[in-house]
Structure 1
């Protein structure tokens, strides 16, 4: 059997741009993508803490250390500048892999600068 588990998350990042007239996706600071192990064009789930919107899009790499979190295209209607988001990626694991799986949890400050990486909540 295969099961889907959280692979990684960026916790409480702040939306820095929301651009409707863009080709879609979510531009994310490259340092944050690397820390979370999220690849360019990988599917992500975004959960808007402010308004409860939850949506699927894909990640694109932003400039390293820019702090950018830009929600683009149709998804821009679901996040305003300043909204706090959780960005999550998931993966499918077999029973053997699940036994040793731990997600990568990335935490940031108010400027979307990485402050801590953990495998446990709290």
Structure 2
């Protein structure tokens, strides 16, 4: 399935790299697919599925775009983990930026925290 072009500013904010594999969920029709990122022009808010991926959605559809990495459980229990989340408006401008973390709090336990960051830049 084709790539997805994403505004480079949005990619930088959440730490996505060009050509990084991402998963997508179309909230309007329930379709899901995997593809890779292509950086778009900064400041445009561009989110554009390309190739066959463009057939899986319509302009204006709400998409969840996410990347994840496989981590060793023991490593997370020892060192924790952080994730960055952008919630965007209909023009793909940042409405909310969240920093989510797993913090080790004892043997075989982590604490989940999610905090809104007011000025993520």
Paired residue for 1:59?
37
Paired residue for 1:72?
50
Q: Is the 8 A contact 1:48 1:84 kept in 2?
A: yes
Moved more, 25-34 or 105-114: 105-114
| Cα distance in structure 2, aligned partners of 1:60 and 1:96 | 33
Paired residue for 2:82?
102
Structure 2 unaligned spans of 5+: 101-113, 117-121
Runs of 4+ in 1 over 6 A off after TM superposition: none
2:108 corresponds to 1:115:
no
Q: Is the 8 A contact 2:60 2:90 kept in 1?
A: no
**TM-score after normalising by structure 1:** 0.75
| Cα distance in structure 1, aligned partners of 2:50 and 2:115 | 29
Paired residue for 2:107?
none
Q: Is the 8 A contact 1:105 1:121 kept in 2?
A: no
| Cα distance in structure 2, aligned partners of 1:55 and 1:92 | 18
**Shift in Å, 1:24:** 2.5
**Quick check: which has more Rg, 1 or 2?**
2
| Cα distance in structure 2, aligned partners of 1:44 and 1:70 | 13
Structure 1 unaligned spans of 5+: 1-22
| Cα distance in structure 1, aligned partners of 2:47 and 2:25 | 13
Q: Any residues of structure 2 matched to 1:71-90 within 5 Å, and which? A: 71-90=49-68
RMSD: 1.9
SS of alignment partner, residue 38 of structure 2: strand
Between 1 and 2, higher relative CO (CA 8 Å, sep ≥ 6) is seen in 1
